[in-house]
């Protein structure tokens, strides 16, 4: 959805920083950016996983390095920025705030506050920290290299699925953060894109804090509608290249977004009833 005209090819020959690059969508972003001629700083809380992604890029003839970073900690994101600028010998041109975790299966009042803090710390404070640290760097960058920020949210940002409160709130916050940042950066040449997919075939369910019943349901839905992380990364980078704000790769994400905006009350009640019925089906 590009309102203000065509963008430039930010994903080509980019100096890119990708968080959560050890697996899933983050690894796909890193590999695709390298394929497009970029130099990539692969960041992850799992340093070995980030290193494996960087090593695979180098083995294919690309340029990449790995940096450990816990995005929930502002001091580590600041160190990531310093390490990236030292490796690039200059500022990054593209930042992908991707690191995230999954949690679900319990209603509000039963999901623990520890889970709330864990999810919000990574899924929401991670992008906040990334934008807080990297936006001034991108603003101050000189030269004609086009610049961009990609924040990975989810269709859960507007989906309101029961039993996923912490995850939904974290992604809704990331969506609002991205919209606000896009407004603040209008006219600066820095394009902000927020990625809102539904199901992507990654390990987020297995690695998250999700009940067994919800895991089974998510696995089934992923088989039906899940896109590969590589496809999602390509689509999102192309959206940022075009100057687009929203990237909703799957049709069900776009349909849900449209219905929610048109009839929010009916949509929310329907989601609740559908989830209740579906959760009682044999999976």
Residues labelled as active-site residues? 167
Question: What is d(CA 146, CA 282) in angstroms, rounded to the nearest whole number?
Answer: 50
How many CB atoms lie under 10 A from the CB of residue 100? 27
Q: What is the DSSP letter of 228?
A: P
Per-residue tokens: 266: 């009916």
Q: Determine the 3-state secondary structure of 195 from DSSP.
A: strand
CB atoms within 10 A of CB 12: 16
CB 227 within 8 A of CB 247: no
Residue that the structure tokens 């390095």 belong to: 65
Angle between helices 229-241 and 24-35 (to 10 degrees): 60
Q: Is 74 within 8 Å of 132 (Cβ atoms)?
A: yes
DSSP secondary structure string for all residues of 99-117 = ----EESS-TTTS-HHHHH
Tokens 């041109």, residue located: 93
Which tokens sit at 71?
């995005």
Tell me the three state secondary structure of residue 11: coil
Buried b (16+ CB within 10 A) or exposed e, 266-276: ebeeebeeebe
Could you give the CA distance from residue 126 to residue 143 in angstroms, rounded to a whole number?
Answer: 28
Identify the residue whose tokens are 């160190």: 79
């Amino acid at each position: 959805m590009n309102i203000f005209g065509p963008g430039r090819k930010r994903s080509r020959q980019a100096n890119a920083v990708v968080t959560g690059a050890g697996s899933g969508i983050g690894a796909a972003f890193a590999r695709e950016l390298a394929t497009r001629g970029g130099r990539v700083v692969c960041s992850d809380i799992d340093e070995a996983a980030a290193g494996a992604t960087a090593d695979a890029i180098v083995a294919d003839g690309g340029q990449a390095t790995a940096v450990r970073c816990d995005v929930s900690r502002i001091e580590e994101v600041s160190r990531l920025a310093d390490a990236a600028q030292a490796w690039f010998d200059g500022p990054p041109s593209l930042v992908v705030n991707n690191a995230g975790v999954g949690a679900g299966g319990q209603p509000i009042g039963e999901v623990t506050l520890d889970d709330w803090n864990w999810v919000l710390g990574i899924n929401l404070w991670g992008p906040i920290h990334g934008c807080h640290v990297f936006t001034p760097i991108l603003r101050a960058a000189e030269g004609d290299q086009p610049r961009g920020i990609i924040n990975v949210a989810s269709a859960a940002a507007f989906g309101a699925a029961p039993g996923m409160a912490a995850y939904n709130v974290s992604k809704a916050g990331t969506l609002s953060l991205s919209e606000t940042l896009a407004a603040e950066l209008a006219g600066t040449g820095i394009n902000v894109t927020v990625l809102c997919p539904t199901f992507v075939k990654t390990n987020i369910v297995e690695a998250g804090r999700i009940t067994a019943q919800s895991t089974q349901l998510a696995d089934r839905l992923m088989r039906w509608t899940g896109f590969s992380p590589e496809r999602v990364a390509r689509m999102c980078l192309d959206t940022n290249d075009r100057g687009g704000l929203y990237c909703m790769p799957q049709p069900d994400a776009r349909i849900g977004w449209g219905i929610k905006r048109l009839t929010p009350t009916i949509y929310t009640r329907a989601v609740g009833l559908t989830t209740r019925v579906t959760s009682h089906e044999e999976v």
